[in-house]
Amino acid sequence: MDIHIYLQERKKRVDAALARMLPREMDYPPSLCKAIRYSVLEGGKRIRPILAMAAFDASGGRGDSILPFACALEFIHAYSLVHDDLPAMDNDDLRRGKPTVHRVFGEAVAILVGDALLTEAFRTMSQGALDHGVDAEVAIGIINEVSLGAGFSGLVGGQVVDIESEGRDVDLPTLEYIHSHKTGALIVTSLRTGARLAGAAPEELRAITLYGEKLGLAFQIIDDVLNVVGDSERLGKKVGTDAARKKATYPGLLGTEESRRLANEIIGEGIAHLALFQDRAEPLKEIARYLASRIS
């Protein structure tokens, strides 16, 4: 399979669904609706929705019921980026090659864009479950798990420890906590959402989870490496910011070469967990290889 064509096609499908599900620019209040569309639709690789769809397919899922769940995961991701860029957090001017939401629409609107997107994610999942006749127990189970992945025991918890660790010497277990929560939680949750919606067997769900944990860690290690050696034009955001903020990172602890080697090793371990899916997991394996070698 050609992973570039696969990712392009999936991204196109996700982008069309996102554009359809978001409020229109002229909806009221226009300042908010414009800013919401800007924060979600201007760029982004759509990795989390694509992972959810690939896990759905690998677990034997059929039809379009995955789309609203996939979009909801991207809404949560987009909210986290908008809030992460705020002056109270990373104070970034550039995201996805464009001025950050608070730079264009002001800080108050940016905070509210995040609030609206997070709320909308849960509405979109519940509405999608109703529209597609998803079994109530399955839908509630997924929504419960997404809540855990996004909240204090997931994404938000990781972000807080990350912020509190700035400028301090951080040991490897703390760094692993930050990465597995700030980055890993939503990646694992996305994969498990697809698998659970498709009715994956317990051993399949376990395998997808183990793969996701490895993928999430490797994804963050590469993100850290790109912050040191990446090209800001390609990445669409500033580089060198982690060192400037004295952030705990893998390249900081291990160096960039060793970090890349470690990421590749971790990706190999992740792929090995997918053996029981045989050919159905080909896209998941290729996505992992692609993410390990990414330069943007």
List of residues contacting ligand GRG (CB under 6 A) = 44-45, 47, 77, 80-81, 83-84, 96, 155-156, 159, 182-183, 220, 223
Amino acid present at 142? I
Question: Which residue's CB is nearer to ligand GRG, number 84 or number 213?
Answer: 84
Alpha-carbon gap, residue 181 to 176, rounded angstroms = 8
The distance of closest approach from Cβ of residue 216 to ligand GRG in the complex, given in angstroms and rounded to an integer, is 9
Alpha-carbon gap, residue 111 to 121, rounded angstroms = 16
Question: Which residue's CB is nearer to ligand GRG, number 65 or number 159?
Answer: 159
Q: Which one-letter DSSP state was computed for residue 246?
A: T
Contact 124, 71 (CB under 8 A): yes
Contact 91, 83 (CB under 8 A): no
The distance of closest approach from Cβ of residue 279 to ligand GRG in the complex, given in angstroms and rounded to an integer, is 26
Question: Which residue's CB is nearer to ligand GRG, number 159 or number 256?
Answer: 159
Question: Which residue's CB is nearer to ligand GRG, number 18 or number 139?
Answer: 18
Alpha-carbon gap, residue 194 to 40, rounded angstroms = 21
SS3 category, 19: helix
The distance of closest approach from Cβ of residue 275 to ligand GRG in the complex, given in angstroms and rounded to an integer, is 26
The distance of closest approach from Cβ of residue 56 to ligand GRG in the complex, given in angstroms and rounded to an integer, is 19
First CA to last CA across the chain, in angstroms? 21
Alpha-carbon gap, residue 231 to 213, rounded angstroms = 27
Question: Which residue's CB is nearer to ligand GRG, number 44 or number 149?
Answer: 44
As a residue count, the chain comes to: 296
The distance of closest approach from Cβ of residue 74 to ligand GRG in the complex, given in angstroms and rounded to an integer, is 8
The distance of closest approach from Cβ of residue 75 to ligand GRG in the complex, given in angstroms and rounded to an integer, is 12
List, as one string, the DSSP characters of 181-213: IIIIHHHHHHHHHHHHHTT--HHHHHHHHHHHH
The distance of closest approach from Cβ of residue 220 to ligand GRG in the complex, given in angstroms and rounded to an integer, is 6
> 273 to each of 63, 218, 231, how far by Cα in Å?
26, 15, 32
With 0-12 / 13-18 / 19 or more C-beta atoms within 10 angstroms meaning exposed / middle / buried, residue 74 is buried
Question: Which residue's CB is nearer to ligand GRG, number 47 or number 70?
Answer: 47
Question: Which residue's CB is nearer to ligand GRG, number 37 or number 182?
Answer: 182
